[in-house]
């Protein structure tokens, strides 16, 4: 009995002490983190990391042949670990510190110098440590996307070296331009969760890297069929759930805006998946599972930049348009141009992100059910197009430079024998499926 009273007394004292500290800080004008916003972004951060590990790893892993599945997972895991360390070491500071309207940040927060548990992220009620972690998950998944363009033939060391340089030279500057009070944000570019920062950069770089690297053996005469469609579906389902943290978390608060963003994200994905199925049914006579989830991802990628600007009707229209445009983009890249963007990264993520970045200018208008925070259509469309144009050109040029540097030093591609054997054994000494006699 005495122990229970002591425990209750201790708990009450601790609670009153914490409450007193918060009241004291509020009275002294010290900013205090909002517990509701903080809780939501904690969850969102975990959801975005869940998109890469394990979502993207399983999605891409199922799409390749069985002898290369572990190499894809290793690349996703390696990039996740490396990007995390680089982000804290200096890339976060370059992306989010510095003056308004600039091209790149500064090194004021290298190794998070000056950021404590009491520091709030600018213009939010979030601990800056949490904001750092949330943005880190975006830096993790973005280079992970272009892995899909180079699977089954790029060296593990090459993808790691390329990604380190790419994060520093492409992702970080563009992040500063659009989200870090840089010149594009100052000009009025709208991109809630990464149509420009994530999908345009990764998509364009995927296309350029696929061209530089060259085709897989047998492409396109001999199709490289996905070895495990069930794994593809599981990975896509994880991406779908994680995308709610990706988009709705980017509102950086828990409230009506986050709720609407989550709703329109879901509606776009559903519309795109069904329209993609319809297109496959019309053209091929059957609607495949892989096609359905590919459409789903296209809808998610396309709504990403617009998810803070459009309403439910706009989301369904954007999702439907994305399925049509991305579906035919896949055919164009793969069948007409014969570029071996292995898992259709540019056609789905790149085209989708670019499309959504432009369409928000239209469906963000209040007259079309949008939030009405965008400028008139022609004005906003011009701003969005300029932001995209600069980003696309810079991503392509930087990717070319980095790719040729890696090729000249450690080489980009495995040997023909290693490609035939499978990268799992050749690069990692392991096999995903142990067949016993």
Give pTM, 2 decimals. 0.92
- Average pLDDT of 24-44? 81
Residue 264 vs residue 4, higher pLDDT: 264
Does any domain span residue 23?
no
Q: How confident is the model at residue 220 (pLDDT cuts 50, 70, 90)?
A: confident
Confidence of residue 221 (pLDDT cuts 50, 70, 90): confident
Query: How large is the average pLDDT for residues 379-398?
Result: 98
Q: What is the pLDDT of residues 178-216, one digit of tens each?
A: 999 999 999 999 999 999 999 999 999 999 999 999 999
Residue with tokens 């014969």: 338
Q: Which of 210, 183, 214 is nearest to 196 (CA)?
A: 183
User: Could you give the C-alpha distances from 137 to 159, 201, 234, 344, in angstroms and in order?
Assistant: 18, 16, 20, 22
* Half-sphere exposure (Cβ direction) of 190: Cα atoms closer than 13 Å: 30
Any domain includes 7: no
The stretch 329-345 carries a mean pLDDT of 96
Helix axes 229-248, 35-50, angle to 10 degrees: 150
Answer yes or no: is 225 within a domain.
yes
Is residue 433 assigned to a domain?
no
Average pLDDT, the chain: 93
Q: How far apart are CA 12 and CA 398, in angstroms?
A: 58
Is residue 436 in some structural domain? no
Among residues 201, 13, 27, 178, the alpha carbon closest in space to that of 95 is found at 178
Choose the weakest-confidence range: 3-7, 185-189, 191-195, 354-358.
3-7
Q: Report pLDDT for 392.
A: 98
Calculate the CA 5 to chain-centre distance: 51
For residue 419, being part of any structural domain is answered with: yes
pLDDT band at 224 (very low <50, low <70, confident <90, very high): confident
pLDDT interval class at 30 (50, 70, 90): low
Residue 435: pLDDT band (50, 70, 90) is low
- pLDDT exceeds 60 at position 26: no
How does residue 23 score in pLDDT terms, banded at 50, 70 and 90?
very low
- Return the pLDDT at 12: 47
pLDDT grade for 29, boundaries at 50, 70 and 90: low
Instruction: Choose among 206, 79, 201, 200: nearest CA to 151.
Output: 206
Separation CA 316–CA 279 (nearest Å) = 16
Domain-embedded: residue 26: no
Cβ contact 48:134 at 8 Å? yes
Range of the domain at 293: 34-428
Q: Are 310 and 360 spatial neighbours (Cβ–Cβ below 8 Å)?
A: yes
Per-residue confidence (pLDDT) for residue 377, from 0 to 100: 98
- Say what the pLDDT of residue 2 is: 38
Flag the least confident range among 22-26, 108-112, 236-240.
22-26
Q: Give pLDDT tens digits for 239-258.
A: 999 999 999 999 999 999 99
Q: What is the pLDDT of residue 437?
A: 40
Q: Per-residue pLDDT averaged across 383-392, rounded?
A: 98
> Which has the higher per-residue pLDDT, 243 or 218?
243
Mean pLDDT score, 225-229: 95
Q: How many domains does the chain have?
A: 1
The answer to which of 5-9, 50-54, 298-302, 349-353 has the lowest mean pLDDT is: 5-9
Over residues 68-92, mean pLDDT: 98
Percentage of the chain surpassing pLDDT 70?
Answer: 92
Number of H helices, E strands in the chain: 19, 0
What mean pLDDT do residues 171-183 have?
98
- Average confidence (pLDDT) over 101-116: 96
- Please check whether residue 437 lies inside any domain of the structure: no
Q: What is the pLDDT of residues 399-422, one digit of tens each?
A: 999 999 999 999 999 999 999 999
Separation between Cα atoms, residue 181 and residue 184, nearest integer Å: 8
pLDDT of residue 19: 41
Q: Does the structure show a pLDDT above 70 at 13?
A: no
Q: What average pLDDT score do residues 293-315 get? A: 98
Question: What CATH number does residue 395 fall under?
Answer: 1.10.3430.10
Amino acid 72: pLDDT:
98
**pLDDT of 297:** 98
Residue from 270, 208, 236, 215 nearest 63 by CA: 236
Among 72, 140, 150, 144, CA closest to 344? 150
pLDDT band at 326 (very low <50, low <70, confident <90, very high): very high
Residue 22: the pLDDT is 44
């Amino acid at each position: 009995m005495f122990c229970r009273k002591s425990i209750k007394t201790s708990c009450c004292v601790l609670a009153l002490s914490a409450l007193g500290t918060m009241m004291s800080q509020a009275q002294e004008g010290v900013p205090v983190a909002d517990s509701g916003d903080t809780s939501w972004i904690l969850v969102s951060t975990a959801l975005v990391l869940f998109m890469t590990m394990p979502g993207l790893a399983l999605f891409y892993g199922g799409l390749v042949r069985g002898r290369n599945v572990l190499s894809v997972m290793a690349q996703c895991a390696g990039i996740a670990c490396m990007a995390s360390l680089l982000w804290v070491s200096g890339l976060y500071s370059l992306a989010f510190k510095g003056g308004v309207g600039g091209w790149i940040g500064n090194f004021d927060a290298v190794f998070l110098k000056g950021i404590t548990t009491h520091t709030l992220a600018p213009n939010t009620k979030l601990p800056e440590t949490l904001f750092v972690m949330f943005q880190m998950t975006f830096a993790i998944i973005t280079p992970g996307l272009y892995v899909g363009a180079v699977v089954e033939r790029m060296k593990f060391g090459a993808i790691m070296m390329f990604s380190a340089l790419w994060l520093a030279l492409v992702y970080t500057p563009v992040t500063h331009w659009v989200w870090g009070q840089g010149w594009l944000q100052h000009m009025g570019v709208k991109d809630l969760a990464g149509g420009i920062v994530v999908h345009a950069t990764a998509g364009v770089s995927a296309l350029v890297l696929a061209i530089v690297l060259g085709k897989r053996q047998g492409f396109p005469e001999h199709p490289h069929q996905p070895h495990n469609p069930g794994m593809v579906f599981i990975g896509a389902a994880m991406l779908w759930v994680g995308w709610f943290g990706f988009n709705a978390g980017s509102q950086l608060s828990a409230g009506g805006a986050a709720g609407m963003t989550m709703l329109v994200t879901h509606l776009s994905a559903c519309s795109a998946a069904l329209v993609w199925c319809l297109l496959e049914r019309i053209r091929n006579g059957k609607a495949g599972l892989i096609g359905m989830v590919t459409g789903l991802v296209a809808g998610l990628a396309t709504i990403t930049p617009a998810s803070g600007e459009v309403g439910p009707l706009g989301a369904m229209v954007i999702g439907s348009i994305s399925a049509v445009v991305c579906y035919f983009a896949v055919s164009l890249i793969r069948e007409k141009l014969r570029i071996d963007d292995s898992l259709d990264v540019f056609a789905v993520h790149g085209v989708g992100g670019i499309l959504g970045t432009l369409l928000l200018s239209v469906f963000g208008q209040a007259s079309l059910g949008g939030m009405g925070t965008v400028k008139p259509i022609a004005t906003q469309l011009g701003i969005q197009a300029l932001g995209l144009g600069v980003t696309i050109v810079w991503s392509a040029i930087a990717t070319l430079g980095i790719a040729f540097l890696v090729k000249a030093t450690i080489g980009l591609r495995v040997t023909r024998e290693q490609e035939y054997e499978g990268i799992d054994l050749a690069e990692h000494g392991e096999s995903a499926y142990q067949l016993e006699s």
